[in-house]
Amino acid sequence: MQIPDDLKYTESHEWIRPDGEIGTVGITDFAQDSLGDIVFLELPEAGTSFQQGETTGVVESVKTVSDILAPVSGEVIEVNSGLETSPQSVNKDPYGSGWLFRIRLANSDEIASLLSSSDYRAKVEK
């Protein structure tokens, strides 16, 4: 189970890589492994704003549908268009080519409220 140290995590299995006021968002290795083969994603459009915890889209595997929640509040500025033709990238490389979108943080204090890699590891390995 990969849980990179430089990321922050949510209880609902999203990760965010903060870089100044921009954060890159995806779902965790644990999440992709639990979902199984991912075949379809519904991602937010660039320009849409979300509150922390709000549903931004869905990820669908062969067997199930799961919501993608915003790890922080902000405006989506870029969406990973590569996933349209290869949703399986989320399975193969959840922290790399399987990233979902980039968000401009509305309130960078929210980052501190997220789980560290060790908190998240404790949660999923429980």
Partner 1 sequence: MSDEPVLKQTPLFHEHEKLGAKMTEFGGWNMPVYYSSIVDEHHAVRNQVGMFDISHMGQIEVSGLAAKDWLNRILSNNVDRLAIGQGQYTFLLNDRGGVIDDLIAYRRRDNQFFLVVNAAKIEEDFAWMQKSLSGGVTLLNCSSLFAAIAVQGPRSAELMADFGELPTRNHIRDLKIAEYSTMIARTGYTGEDGFELFFPGGLAPFIWNRLLDLGKPLGVRPCGLGSRDTLRIEACYPLNGSDLSQDRTPLEAGLASFVDLEKGEFIGREALCAQKKASVRQRLSALKATEKSPPFRPHYPLFVSGERIGELTSGTQSPTLGVGIGLGYLDAAFAQPGQKVEIEIRGRKYAANVEKKPLYKKSI
- Least Å distance, CB 111 to partner 1, is 30
In Å, what is the CA distance from 120 to each residue of 21, 71, 104, 109? 23, 14, 23, 19
Longest dimension (CA), the chain: 38
Q: Which residues bind partner 1 (CB under 8 A)?
A: 36-37, 39-40, 42, 58, 60-63, 65
- Least Å distance, CB 83 to partner 1, is 13
Report the residue number, 63 or 126, with the smaller CB distance to partner 1.
Answer: 63
Report the residue number, 60 or 75, with the smaller CB distance to partner 1.
Answer: 60
Report the residue number, 46 or 65, with the smaller CB distance to partner 1.
Answer: 65
Residue listed under structure tokens 């890589």: 17
- Least Å distance, CB 95 to partner 1, is 19
Report the residue number, 65 or 77, with the smaller CB distance to partner 1.
Answer: 65
- Specify the amino acid at residue 55: T
Question: What whole-number distance in Å separates Cα of residue 95 and Cα of residue 4?
Answer: 8
- Least Å distance, CB 61 to partner 1, is 8
The candidate with the shortest Cα–Cα distance to 79, out of 106, 43, 39, is: 43
- Specify the amino acid at residue 87: P
